[in-house]
Amino acid sequence: MRQLIDKMFGAAFRNEWSEEQHDGAILPDVPGRQPVLTTDSFVVDPLSFPGGDIGTLAVCGTVNDLAMCGAEPKYLTCGFVIEEGLPMEQLWSVVCSMQSTAEQAGVQIVTGDTKVVDRGKADKLFINTAGLGFVEPGHAARPGRIQANDVVLLSGDVGRHGVVVLAARDGLGFETEIESDCQPLNHATRGLLDAGVEVHCFRDLTRGGLATGMVELAGTAGLACSIREAEVPVREDVRGACELLGLAPLYVANAGRFVAVVSEAHADRAIEVLRGLGGDHQPVRIGSFQAGRGGRVTLQTTAGSERILDMLSGEQLPRIC
Amino acid sequence: MRQLIDKMFGAAFRNEWSEEQHDGAILPDVPGRQPVLTTDSFVVDPLSFPGGDIGTLAVCGTVNDLAMCGAEPKYLTCGFVIEEGLPMEQLWSVVCSMQSTAEQAGVQIVTGDTKVVDRGKADKLFINTAGLGFVEPGHAARPGRIQANDVVLLSGDVGRHGVVVLAARDGLGFETEIESDCQPLNHATRGLLDAGVEVHCFRDLTRGGLATGMVELAGTAGLACSIREAEVPVREDVRGACELLGLAPLYVANAGRFVAVVSEAHADRAIEVLRGLGGDHQPVRIGSFQAGRGGRVTLQTTAGSERILDMLSGEQLPRIC
């Protein structure tokens, strides 16, 4: 089985490093750039869902974490934990998703590892990816750079990924009409940075959704933040599915949505740039940071009231990514 | 649970990157060095064994893969997949092992990820680590640099780790007298490189042991290789345990043993340097590479005969690392 898997990975991810069959990938130097390192494990259940599968997620998740630092993602590692008995065609399909998503993002999968465990000791397939990217010193986006009066831009509608995965898991009927927003975001972040937009921070809105992402950012930045609910796009079918599933769209995981925190003076330009990139981005200005209690995020609701947003309360949705 | 885990990791792995709580770690540039990237997943069963635990292994394994490329390991990522119900004190013990092993190796754990899955959907704890190191261009060790007449040095006795884990798993009595050889190897490889030894390649002898490592190296290098069995140190208790367990010591996984492939002229000096580093290394010259059929490894047995070594034949020992 291991030999088969090695052949499979060798065929899909072929490049000069995988061909060297060494303990690690010795990569070219990138003078004047800082390395950026990140990792994520993926345990999504079910393995595939409308709009993607665990392989798409595993590449996008790590590519996007690098992009959120302002870095250009370059190289990925992948570690597979496989439950004995996983059909080989299912694994092959995931490996092909990884390779095509890597091509879409412009990254190479340079080294990996496979472990097989007995039936019943894992659930089909878990994937870890780590990513290495490089950032120009002036482009480094981080929570510590956020300032009062910075504007919060959201890259598009929220809530799709979580709803799609839960619906696919439970065999609900509406999943066919909604697709996950799973996509690499590095072309969007690069577009903004290359256009000279003064970006202070990016954050992709994965586990815990938009609300949790904003509370985390505000906490780390030591600033308050306010968000206008009416400006946050949620598709009607996603809103309906959330009601059915008992979810709040602002807390549902996304897989291809992010916020960009930009200086007030650059907000309009940022929206223009993102729109010009085409693709799935429909950027909107949803709020801003202000001096105030660090981590306090206020939602101006559509009903006209104000509400303090918390981290995801209650149980975190399990195995959504 | 997730909050508890985050606090635990935050406390154990505290550094400027973990404190920034961003999607990735933005690291300092290392001018004139090439980045080296590697990854490994760890699913060892049981989680702890004489001489280490899954945390020790997860740090050593990735540190050692970087060291085998001639690189100085600097930064690790870690991804945890945790089965619901894992006792927190057990997780804490593993996290502490990781931190103390990281200190011993001189690396920092800069970013991580945690996923919790339902009881029965994983086996207690799986860990992935990825590692970033940097290599001086002249120090890059790789199979492609191996030449005919290069000497194979082995860093010490083989077979301990696999025997210890199997014995601990099966509750055999002799495990208390043998400890895993699990250890970071980067100080040893750096010692050799800093002393100016002309090292062409390193290989740590993990899954599949010495025999598999040599067959892989010879295959990638396109050379033949011969090994003298009498020169390969195996402790008497390890040899006895192997007989009991039906294992061949040359195929048993190690966690802190490596071969250095060095130019003939530098072999004596290399042994002297490794001896001088102290620690657990007892270097011996076990064989050499020659022109011949690529991948053909001949064992001169203690019985005086010759035998062609294969990759690990039969079933790979599962979950040894």
Give tens-digit pLDDT for B193-223.
Answer: 999 999 999 999 999 999 999 999 999 999 9
Chain A residue with Cα closest to B81 = A41
Q: What is the pLDDT of residues B230-286, one digit of tens each?
A: 999 999 999 999 998 889 999 999 999 999 999 999 999 999 999 999 888 999 999
Q: Are residues A107 and A88 in the same domain?
A: yes
Task: Tally A–B CB contacts below 8 A.
Answer: 208
A313 confidence band (pLDDT: 50, 70, 90): low
> Alpha-carbon distance A65 to A50, whole Å?
22
B window 19-78, beta carbon within 8 A of A: 20-43, 64-66, 68-69, 71, 75, 77-78
Same domain, B156 and B294: yes
- Give how many domains chain B has, as a whole number: 2
Q: Once rounded to an integer, what is the mean pLDDT over residues A49-67?
A: 97
Q: What six digits make up the tokens of A111?
A: 């080294």
CA distances from A39 to A126, A183, B275, B298 (A): 14, 17, 37, 41
pLDDT more than 90, % of chain A: 85
Residue A174 has pLDDT above 90, yes or no: no
Contact list, A58 vs chain B (CB under 8 Å): none
Cβ-defined contact of B23 to A31 (cutoff 8 Å) = no
Domain boundary among A100, A135, A170: A135
* Number of neighbours of residue A103 by Cβ within 10 angstroms: 12
Which of B19, B64, B113, B127 should one mutate to test binding to chain A, selecting the residue with the greatest count of A CBs within 10 A? B113
Residue the block writes with tokens 């993926």: A42
In a domain? residue B225:
yes
Residue A175 scores a pLDDT above 60: no
pTM of the model: 0.96
Helices assigned H by DSSP within chain A:
2-12, 16-20, 54-68, 88-105, 160-170, 186-194, 209-221, 236-245, 267-276
Nearby residues of A74 by Cβ (< 8 Å), 6 or more positions away: A27, A30, A107, A108, A132, A133, A134
- Residue B165 within a domain: yes
Predicted confidence band of residue B315 (pLDDT cuts 50, 70, 90): low
- A14 and A93 co-located in one domain: yes
Structural tokens at position B308: 């062609």
Q: Are B177 and B237 in contact (CB under 8 A)?
A: yes
Q: B120 to chain A, minimum CA–CA distance in Å?
A: 7
Residues B124 and B227 in one domain: no
Under a CB-based contact definition with an 8 Å cutoff, are residues B218 and B203 in contact? no
CA distance B264 to B228: 16
Instruction: Decide if B169 touches A, using CB distance below 8 A.
Output: no
Based on the fold, state whether residues B131 and B251 are members of the same structural domain: no
Q: What is the pLDDT of residues B284-294, one digit of tens each?
A: 999 999 999 99
A216 and A248 belong to one structural domain: yes
Question: Are A295 and A150 part of one and the same domain?
Answer: yes
Per-residue pLDDT, A286: 98
In a domain, B8, yes or no: yes
Whether B35 and B20 have beta carbons less than 8 Å apart is answered as no
The b-or-e profile of A104-139 (16+ CB within 10 A means b, else e) is bbebbbbbbbbbbbeeebbbbbbbbbbbbbbbeeeb
Q: What is the pLDDT of residue A21?
A: 83
In degrees, rounded to 5, the angle at the alpha carbon of residue A203 between the alpha carbons of residues A93 and A257 is 50
Instruction: Please check whether residues A58 and A124 belong to one and the same domain.
Output: yes
Which tokens hold the place of A217?
């950012």
Give the whole-angstrom CA distance, residue B163 versus residue B177: 11
Q: What distance in Å separates the CA atoms of residue A197 and residue A249, rounded to the nearest whole number? A: 29
Are the beta carbons of A36 and B28 separated by less than 8 Å?
no
If you average pLDDT over residues B308-313, what whole number do you get? Answer: 82
C-alpha span between B202 and B187 (Å, rounded): 13
Residue B28 distance to chain A (closest CA, Å): 6
Residues of chain A with pLDDT > 70: what percent? 97
Q: Which residues of B fall within a CB distance of 8 Å from A114?
A: 41
pLDDT digits (tens, 9 = 90+) for A260-277: 999 999 999 999 999 999
pLDDT tens-digit series, residues B243-259: 988 899 999 999 999 99
Q: Which of A135, A160, A178 is the last residue of a domain?
A: A135
CB-CB under 8 Å, A111 with B37: yes
Q: Which residues pair with A126 in a beta bridge?
A: A81
What the block records as the tokens of B285 is: 């010259």
| Domain CATH number, residue B296 | 3.90.650.10
Same domain, A130 and A147: no
Give the residue numbers spanning the domain of A273.
Answer: 143-309
- Residue (of A267, A129, A144, A199) closest to B19 by Cα position: A144
User: Which chain A residue lies closest to B19 (C-alpha atoms)?
Assistant: A220
Give the per-residue pLDDT at B252: 95
Instruction: With a cut of 90, say whether residue A281 has pLDDT above it.
Output: yes
Could you tell me which residue, A305 or B4, shows the higher pLDDT? A305
Which residue type, as a one-letter code, is found at position B205? L
What ipTM was estimated for this complex? Answer: 0.95
B148/B284 same-domain check: yes
pLDDT at position B170: 79
Nearest-CA distance from B236 to chain A in Å?
30
Region of B313 on the Ramachandran plot (φ > 0 left; ψ -120 to 50 alpha; else beta): beta
pLDDT digits (tens, 9 = 90+) for B104-120: 999 999 999 999 999 99
Q: How far is the C-alpha of B155 from the C-alpha of B149, rounded, in Å?
A: 19
What's the gap in Å between the CA of B88 and the closest CA on chain A? 19
- Residue A278, pLDDT score: 84
Q: Is the peptide bond before B233 cis (omega within 30 degrees of 0)?
A: no
C-beta separation of A149 from A224 below 8 A = no
Evaluate whether B187 touches B60 at the Cβ level (below 8 Å): no
Test A69 with B132 for CB contact under 8 angstroms: no
User: How far apart are alpha carbons B54 and B98 in whole angstroms?
Assistant: 8
**B166 and B149 in a common domain:** yes
**Could you give the 3-state DSSP secondary structure of residue A147?**
coil
How far is A66 from chain B, CA to nearest CA, in Å?
6
Residue A315 covered by a domain = no
Kindly determine whether residue B34 and residue A27, on different chains, have CB atoms separated by under 8 Å. Answer: yes
| Predicted local distance difference test score (pLDDT) of residue A111 | 94
Edge to edge, what strands does the sheet with A284-290 contain?
Answer: A199-204, A258-262, A151-154, A284-290, A224-228, A297-300, A306-309
Q: Given this model, what pLDDT does residue A6 score?
A: 74
Work out the average pLDDT over A28-49. Answer: 96
Taking only the tens place, the pLDDT of each residue in A238-265 is: 999 999 888 999 999 999 999 999 999 9
Residue in B31, B69, B80 closest to A26 by CB:
B69
Q: Which of residues 76-105 of B touch A (CB under 8 A)?
A: 77-81
- Asked if the structure places residue A321 within a domain, the reply is no
pLDDT one-digit tens code per residue, B148-191:
999 999 999 999 999 999 999 977 766 568 999 999 999 999 99
